[in-house]
Amino acid sequence: MKIQEIQTEFLREASSAPSLFSDLAKVELYIAESYRSRAFIELLQNADDSGASKFLVRQVGKQLFVANDGHSFTQHEMIALCRSGSSNKRRGSGTIGYRGIGFKSVAGIAHEIDVISANSAFRFSKAITRQQLNIETDVPLIRIPHPIELKELSSVSLVEQLLLDGMNTVFILSGLDERMIAEEADAFDESAMLFLNNVSQVEIELPSVKRNLNRNTVHYIDGLNIEQIENNNEQFRWLVSSHEEGCERVAFALDADMIVPAPPSKSVIHAFMPTTEFSGALLKINGNFSTDPSRKSVDLDDTSLDTFERCVELLAKALCYATERCILPGIFSPFILASPVEGRFRKRLRDSLLSNLDDLGFCIAGVRSSPLEVRLRPDWLPYSDYEKICRDLPHIDQATLSQHPQLPDFLKWLGARLLTIEEGLSLFDQTTPSPIGRAQTFARLSRQYRYDLTADKLDIIGNTPLLPVEGGGALCVRDFSNQIIDSDFLEYIKQSNEIEDVRYLAKRLGLPISIINPIEDSPQKNLESQHQANSSKCESVTPPQALSALFKAVPAIKAWRSAEQNTFEWLSALADVLTVKDVSQANVGYDLEVFKHNGEFLYVEVKSVPRFGEAFRLTNNEHATAYQLGDAYFLAIVINSGNTYEIRLIQNPIRSLMLEKRCEQWSWYCENYLEKLIEYKEIEK
């Protein structure tokens, strides 16, 4: 059937039902308004369904050219273009569109449309339609095709060039709504290309916007690909998980090789093209979702619910894969929301993930268990002691935590519990916590049971090996008979903010109060008198020759980076440092792990100050960790302001500084430390 014949048939339909024809104009207006700012996306979808690899939008003067290199329109497709809801595409058949109304969105940005495809050329024009029907009432724009000759076009040379360049279908939009065109360009998100079947190149050329988007797929590991979308000089990278069969996909935003939370505006469900529906986490989900006609909202019918479940299966498998192999750093970060994001899928995602992870078994450090069986570290317990106590329980080991610092918060979101003090006590017989760990447990018990110290609880505490003795080993409280208690345990207890509660518990347990009374000549009390004898004055300027020997490369210090990031770069550039690992998000009591060529490890906590001498504070976790690590623990006191970056170090701060316990956040403050600042080259080898 030729264009002339299609035109004649549609004119006859319009003449026989003029009221219905007028109603079609209202329907078209409704569709155009519903698809507001989505005409480019609908044209892109049509191009992808035609098998196109290239899609172009170019404004020349008062006309907008939209072209693709997919297959030319067939006769059935031409008729479907004119009608509403008569597409021969079928849902689940490998195409994106299936309703047959998306092209009507173009009526919202143009008053006239020329179509050149398959050696045919025709025009959609309200003016010509009215003239042909001899009426003045409103008529639909995209309904009756009017044949035109290619040579009649004022832009024939550009059309011919596009065809020579491999484009098979060209749309020419005239009578443009320039404001809407600008909105379309601004609203077009490069991630709209992410789940397309065919299109890999998109070019947009407007007077105010020039974008050249290219998508490349790189195989990562089984079931995972990296999709790279380049936009001029920018590059957007997504890690995409998929089933061997089916269209379901899950995409994680990447920054270098790290998975990061996607912006909330991009964390949406895709029905191949993006909806406005929050996915439930800061990532993308794609599948055969049912949507409203505008493709903005998901219709939760059985098909959509089944599709969502298949997407969550992908997520669960990727998370298990990440923990089992200790790969894909950052994969848990998209589930941790810094601020609430409204959406219908957040709770549904959590419940479905928990069910899937229960079925799969969540593997951490070689132990497979339900997420709710994992015991998380309580704040009062140092990490090394948490690992010792939980060695026979599902827990998060430090190696996994370093790779996945957001894992505890993720499991907490699913419903996992902290290790309770009662669970910890029950495991003391089979484990060997450090003296500091035992001290923190004792202090925690005294605080928690201060007003609930029943006879049963006293019996449990009394028969738990909580008292470490000099030379190793530990005693049950009931077995104490003037043995020498470990000095680290006593020192920590005496500095505890729960000291009055500790005295009360000790008295109820029958312990001599003398063993926990403050010692007049404790190391903390005597530090002030030792400062002058042991001080290491810091040099204000390091000689150039020393700098060249100290570093293997110039540290990549940037004004916009945080103190932790700049310290990471500074330490990484040192000549005797092999690797530096950032564990600042893992809450292990320090920010950086430094591994030197000689096999030595340094553990560095970064403290940013406006000038040397200003006070800083240590958290309880940092304080306990510094206690345990001793000389391997360093504070990096950093001035990180504008173009200024200076760093000095304090080794073993617990034993070299006077720290003041303050109760507003139970932190350890230090104001007098200038004499203990040293440069890196002064560290004893």
Give the mean model confidence (pLDDT) for residues 109-116: 95
Residue 653's pLDDT band (boundaries 50, 70, 90)?
very high
CB contact burial 588-616 (16+ within 10 A = b; e otherwise): bbbbbbbebeeeeebbbbbbbbeeeeeeb
169-206 pLDDT tens trace: 999 999 999 988 988 888 788 989 999 999 999 999 99
**What is residue 682's predicted lDDT score, i.e. its pLDDT?**
79
Q: Confirm whether 644 is domain-assigned.
A: yes
Count of domains for the chain: 4
Helix (H, G, I), strand (E, B) or coil at 150: helix
Residue 85 has a pLDDT of 53
Residues 102 and 20 grouped into a single domain: yes
Residue 183 has what pLDDT?
83
How much is the pLDDT for 534?
Answer: 36
Co-location of 347 and 241 in the same domain: yes
pLDDT tier at 20, thresholds 50, 70, 90: very high
- Of 144, 122, 116, 113, nearest to 25 by C-alpha is 144
Examine the domain organization and report whether 496 and 564 are in the same domain.
Answer: no
Name the pTM for this structure: 0.77
How many angstroms separate the Cα of 445 from the Cα of each of 49, 81, 458, 496?
66, 75, 10, 12
Rounded-to-integer distance, Cα 261 and Cα 77, Å = 41
pLDDT confidence band for 665 (50 / 70 / 90): low
- Which candidate, 165, 146, 135, 119, places its Cα nearest to that of 4? 146
At residue 635, φ and ψ (nearest 5 deg) are -95, 130
Region 257-273 average pLDDT: 93
Residues 161 and 81 in one domain: yes
Q: One-letter amino acid identity for 212?
A: N
Q: Which long-range contacts (CB under 8 A, 24 or more apart) does 323-326 make?
A: 323/362, 323/363, 323/364, 323/400, 323/404, 323/407, 324/363, 326/399, 326/400, 326/403, 326/404
pLDDT digits (tens, 9 = 90+) for 478-501: 999 989 999 989 988 887 777 889
What is the reported pLDDT for 541? 37
pLDDT classification of 547: cutoffs 50, 70, 90: low
Q: Are strands 667-670 and 616-618 parallel, antiparallel or unpaired?
A: antiparallel
Which residues are CB-contacts of 266 (< 8 A; sequence separation ≥ 6)? 189, 191, 253, 274, 284
Q: Over 80: is that where the pLDDT of 666 sits? A: no
Specify whether 7 is located in the same domain as 147.
yes
Q: Please say if the pLDDT value at position 395 is more than 70.
A: yes
**pLDDT reported for residue 597:** 80
Burial 545-570 (b: 16+ CB within 10 A, else e): eeeeeebeeebebeeeeebbbbbbbb
pLDDT at 607: 96
Contacts of 257 (CB under 8 A, 6+ apart): 329
**Which of 98-102, 148-152, 390-394, 677-681 is predicted least confidently?**
98-102
Q: CA 650 to CA 255: how far, in whole Å?
A: 33
Question: 30 and 138 in one domain?
Answer: yes
Angle between helices 455-462 and 499-509 (to 10 degrees): 90
Q: Does residue 25 register a pLDDT over 50?
A: yes
Which single residue is written with the structure tokens 């009017």?
146
Query: Given the DSSP bridges, would you call strands 601-608 and 474-475 parallel, antiparallel or unpaired?
Result: unpaired
* pLDDT reading at 628 higher than 80: yes
Asked if residue 200 lies in contact with residue 52, where contact means CB atoms within 8 angstroms, the answer is no
Taking a C-beta distance cutoff of 8 angstroms, is the pair 652, 633 a contact? yes
Q: What is the pLDDT of residue 527?
A: 43
Residue 413 lies in a domain: no
Strands (E), 428-540: 467-468, 474-475
In a domain, 59, yes or no: yes
pLDDT for the residue numbered 670: 84
Let me know whether 176 and 233 are in one domain.
no
Q: Answer for the pair 115, 121: CB distance below 8 angstroms, yes or no.
A: yes
Asked which of 314, 339, 360 is the last residue of a domain, the reply is 360
589: nearest Cα among 294, 312, 386:
386
- The candidate with the shortest Cα–Cα distance to 597, out of 566, 544, 552, 543, is 552
Whether the per-residue pLDDT at 208 is higher than 90: the answer is no
Q: Does one domain contain both 241 and 351?
A: yes
% of the chain residues with pLDDT over 90: 61
Whether residue 199 lies inside any domain: the answer is no
- The CATH number of the domain where 77 resides is what? 3.30.565
* Interstrand relation of 467-468 and 474-475 (parallel, antiparallel or unpaired): antiparallel
Q: Which of 41, 34, 44, 122 is nearest to 78 (CA)?
A: 122
Give the pLDDT score at 243.
86
3-state SS, residue 347: helix
The pLDDT assigned to 236 comes to 93
Residue 642 pLDDT grade (very low, low, confident, very high; cuts 50, 70, 90): confident
Average pLDDT on 208-222 reads 91
Cα-Cα-Cα-Cα dihedral of 55, 60, 63, 68, to 10°?
-10
- Which residues make beta-bridge pairs with 641? 644
Q: Average pLDDT, stretch 645-657?
A: 94
Q: What torsion do the CA atoms of 373, 376, 381, 382 make, to the nearest 10 degrees?
A: 110
C-alpha 85/C-alpha 99 separation (Å) is: 5
Of the listed ranges 63-77, 201-215, 355-369, 650-664, the one predicted with least confidence: 650-664
| Residue at 205 is within a domain | no
pLDDT tens string 577-613:
988 999 988 888 999 999 988 778 999 999 999 999 9
For 524-545, what is each residue's pLDDT tens digit? 444 443 433 333 333 333 444 4
Token pair listed for 227 = 């999709």
Among residues 469, 485, 519, which one ends one of the domains? 519
Whether residue 583 contacts residue 405, with contact meaning beta carbons closer than 8 Å, is answered with yes
End-of-domain residue from the set 478, 493, 519: 519
**89-103, 110-124, 463-477, 560-574: which has the minimum mean pLDDT?**
89-103
Residue 368, domain member (yes or no): no
Residues 182 and 327 in one domain: no
| Residues 6+ positions from 310 with CB-CB distance below 8 Å | 243, 246, 248, 287
Is the separation of the CB atoms in 450 and 504 below 8 Å?
A: yes
| Distance, CA of 604 to CA of 683 (rounded, Å) | 13
CB atoms within 10 A of CB 137: 11
CA 12, 15, 17, 23 torsion-angle sign: positive
Structure tokens at 315: 């997520």
201-205 vs 210-221, strand pairing mode: antiparallel
In this structure, the answer to whether residues 275 and 141 fall within a common structural domain is: no
* Secondary structure letter of residue 496 according to DSSP: -
432 shares its domain with 505: yes
Residue 297 shares a structural domain with residue 432 = no
Apex CA 628: angle with CA 622 and CA 633, to 5°? 65
- Please report whether residue 467 resides in a domain: yes
> In the structure, what pLDDT confidence band is assigned to residue 407 with cuts at 50, 70 and 90?
very high
pLDDT band at residue 551 using 50, 70 and 90 as cut-offs: confident
Tokens representing 254 are 């990447």
* pLDDT at residue 647, rounded to an integer: 95
Q: CA neighbours within 13 Å on the CB side: how many for 513?
A: 7
Report which DSSP code applies to 393.
Answer: S
Query: Between these two residues, 527 and 11, which has the higher pLDDT value?
Result: 11
DSSP code string of 619-648? -HHHHHHHHHHGGGEEEEEEEEETTEEEEE
Distance, CA of 248 to CA of 270 (rounded, Å): 10
Provide the 10 A C-beta neighbour count for residue 406: 21
Residue range 355-379: mean pLDDT, rounded: 93
State the residue range of the domain holding 497: 424-519
3-state secondary structure of 342: coil
Give me the percent of the chain exceeding a pLDDT of 70: 92
In a domain, 437, yes or no: yes
Reported as a single tens digit per residue, the pLDDT across 50-83 is 999 999 999 999 999 999 999 999 888 899 889 8
